[in-house]
Amino acid sequence: MVINGTMMQYFEWFTEADGKHWQRLKEDAKHLHDIGITAVWIPPVFKSVTINDEGYGIYDLYDLGEFDQKGGIRTKYGTKQELLAAIEELHKYNIQVYADVVLNHKGGADETEHFNAIEVAEDDRNKDISEPHEIEGWTKFTFPGRKGKYSDFTWNYHHFSGIDYDKKNDKKGIFRIAEDDKSWADDSAVGNEFGNYDYLMFADIDYGNADVVDEIKKWASWFVKETGVDGFRLDAVKHIHEEFTNDLVCGLREEFGEDFFVVAEYWDQKYGHLKEYLKAHNDDISLFDVSLHYKLSNASKEGNAYDLRPLFDETLMQKKPTSAVTFVDNHDSQPSQALESYVEPWFKPLAYSIILLRKYGYPTVFYGDYYGIKGDNPIEGQQEILDKLIYIRQHYAYGNQTDYLDHANCIGWTRAGDEDHPDGCAVVLTNSEEGFKEMSFGEERAGEVFYDYLGHREDEVTLDENGVGVFPVNAGSVSVWVKK
């Protein structure tokens, strides 16, 4: 990971389904490098239930847009050739590529099978609401379009633990497969919402099956060699047996080096749950700072009623800084999505100044915040302000951080700078009326003059004989003060 590196999540839910996304990414590589992006998280690259699926309805992990399956050759984002060309171009500009990897389930099976299953309660998956009975489920994956290339492994009901539809009785529900002494993953190995959150959607992959574990590890090795990606974003990990993810990550690091980056999506606001998950992985992976995201979302909705002083309490950024991947929004939290918790546009510049200019956390810029969100209710991107904040991160946000978190509506901090970036910066933001923060850079910097790089304020601030300055900020805004 680069010092002061910045990741971009290079997609939003309504990214055009025109098969040209990899081409756009390739063309954008130089621009991303020029603005200071050092890594991109790309959407799932695999053939899904349809060629226009966002990528989370995984059908075939070995089909990266190469085989005529599920309605065509390309995925929503393009062909395998275009994907590899985009990765190569990004690498040319020293931009790392993290693949979004979906290992919890499979969808779009090729055939049905008959087997015994038990229906469970949707709100408590440990509670059986039927006797074992024969059902007909979509569990057979033969990948006829791929014809065994790369792997001759085919999937059947022995490789899954549950499904959500019985074709025989045309019934939707959650059915635990009652063959091979199957059960859900142990309660302690997955999230505990709904009693046991092993089951999420489609045909749930059974990591208690040794053949499955073997096949997915082989696939992971093949995939990294085939594409040259630098890391994984692991989707929906609270539904996957944590022993398996731990094994997988250890194997990847052994084969591809300790720097192979892994960030897992464990969607939970409670810091305690994230801490436990990290502990199970020896603190050796990163997690998205979901706690901080919800605080930013709440702050944006509550306006000046929100007390900014405890903003960082019980967040990964504060408690496990080296494991924190910070973000403002993503494809799940954007409007109309499953986990909608959108940060209101007025607060975006404040939220991004927090994740980009503070000392801790690996920040992620969301494509939808930068380029805009499409769909029925489009939202404009905030490219201009984000370019400035990423630039400040790259050139000024270094060195020790001194916090001034002593006012419910107006907070600030200074970064002292380091040997290579001696100027540092001062950040001040308010969720209420115009305000200011009196902050110090130390007497050795007395007399230095600062201006607001974001251009929100036209005044200048001169440090007094003690190196203290009074840094103002407009109402509901942020200013970042750098040396003139």
Percent of the chain with pLDDT over 70: 100
Cβ contact 137:165 at 8 Å: yes
Domain residues for the domain of 139 are 106-205
Same domain, yes or no, for 304 and 322? Answer: yes
Cα–Cα distance, 274 to 59 (Å, whole number): 29
Do 319 and 366 form a contact (C-beta atoms < 8 A)?
no
For residues 250 and 331, membership in a common domain is answered with: yes
- The pLDDT score that the predictor gives to residue 347 is 98
Q: In this structure, is residue 1 part of a structural domain?
A: no
Report yes or no: 159 and 109 within 8 Å, Cβ to Cβ.
no
CB-CB contact of 171 with 165 (8 Å): yes
| Residue 1 pLDDT greater than 80, yes or no | no
Distance CA 229, CA 42 (A): 10
Candidates 60, 235, 329, 452; catalytic one: 235
Residue-wise pLDDT tens digits, 77-89: 999 999 999 999 9
Rounded-to-integer distance, Cα 352 and Cα 372, Å: 15
Backbone angles phi and psi of 227, in degrees to 5: -110, -25
- The answer to whether 75 touches 188, Cβ cutoff 8 Å, is no
pLDDT for position 294: 97
pLDDT at residue 35, rounded to an integer: 98
Statement: residue 446 has pLDDT above 90: yes
What span, in angstroms and rounded, lies between the C-alpha atoms of 137 and 153?
19
Shared-domain flag, residues 122 and 100:
no
113 and 78 within one domain: no
Report whether 44 contacts 100 (CB < 8 A): yes
Mean pLDDT of the chain: 97
Q: pLDDT tens for residues 101-136?
A: 999 999 999 999 999 999 999 999 999 999 999 999
| Position 266 in a domain | yes
User: What average pLDDT does the segment 137-159 reach?
Assistant: 98
Whether 273 and 228 map to the same domain: the answer is yes
Determine the pLDDT at residue 345: 97
Task: Determine the residue type at 369.
Answer: D
Look at the chain and report how many structural domains it folds into. 3
Whether 445 shows a pLDDT value over 90: the answer reads: yes
Find the helix or strand (DSSP H, E) in which 291 lies: helix 290-302
Q: Where do the DSSP E strands lie in 322-385?
A: 324-327, 362-366
Candidates 53, 100, 230, 265; catalytic one: 265
Last residue of a domain, one of 344, 374, 395: 395
In a domain, 2, yes or no: no
Reply yes or no on whether 265 is catalytic. Answer: yes
Q: How many CB atoms lie within 10 A of CB 225?
A: 11
pLDDT band at 156 (very low <50, low <70, confident <90, very high): very high
One domain for residues 243 and 379: yes
Q: What is the pLDDT of residues 11-54, one digit of tens each?
A: 999 999 999 999 999 999 999 999 999 999 999 999 999 999 99
Which pLDDT does position 260 carry in this prediction?
Answer: 97
CA distance 349 to 351: 6
Q: Are residues 310 and 436 in the same domain?
A: no
Please give the average per-residue pLDDT across 453-467, as a whole number. 97
The pLDDT assigned to 332 comes to 86
| Residue 246: C-alpha distances to residues 68, 87, 122, 241, 281 (Å) | 34, 26, 28, 9, 6
Is 289 part of a structural domain of the chain? yes
Could you tell me the CATH number of the domain that includes residue 194? 2.40.30.140
Together in a domain, 115 and 224:
no
Reported pTM: 0.96
Q: Are both 81 and 198 inside the same structural domain?
A: no
Q: What are the tens digits of pLDDT across the range 394-417?
A: 999 999 999 999 999 999 999 999
Beta strands 105-106 and 203-205 are: antiparallel
Can you give the pLDDT at residue 277?
A: 94
Tell me the residue type at 154: T
Say how many Å lie between the first and final Cα of the chain, rounded: 30
Count Cβ atoms within 10 A of the Cβ of residue 86 and give its class: 0-12 exposed, 13-18 middle, 19 or more buried: buried
Is residue 88 part of the annotated active site? The answer reads no
Taking alpha carbons only, the member of 343, 308, 210, 379 closest to residue 352 is: 343
Determine the pLDDT at residue 31.
98
SS3 content of the chain, % helix, strand, coil (to 5): 30, 25, 45
Whole-angstrom distance, CA of residue 317 vs CA of residue 342:
20
Q: Is the same domain home to 358 and 426?
A: no
**Residue of 2, 25, 223 whose CA lies nearest to 94:** 2
Q: Does 2 score more than 90 pLDDT?
A: no
Displacement of CA 244 from its chain's centroid (Å) = 20
- Domain boundary (205, 236, 267) is at 205
Quick one: which of 358, 419, 364 has its CA closest to 392?
358
Q: Using one digit for the tens of pLDDT, what is the confidence trace for 265-304?
A: 999 999 999 999 999 999 999 999 999 999 999 999 999 9
Q: Is residue 424 part of a domain?
A: yes
Decide if 106 contacts 219 (C-beta within 8 A). no
Q: How confident is the model at residue 448 (pLDDT cuts 50, 70, 90)?
A: very high
Give the total residue count for the chain: 484
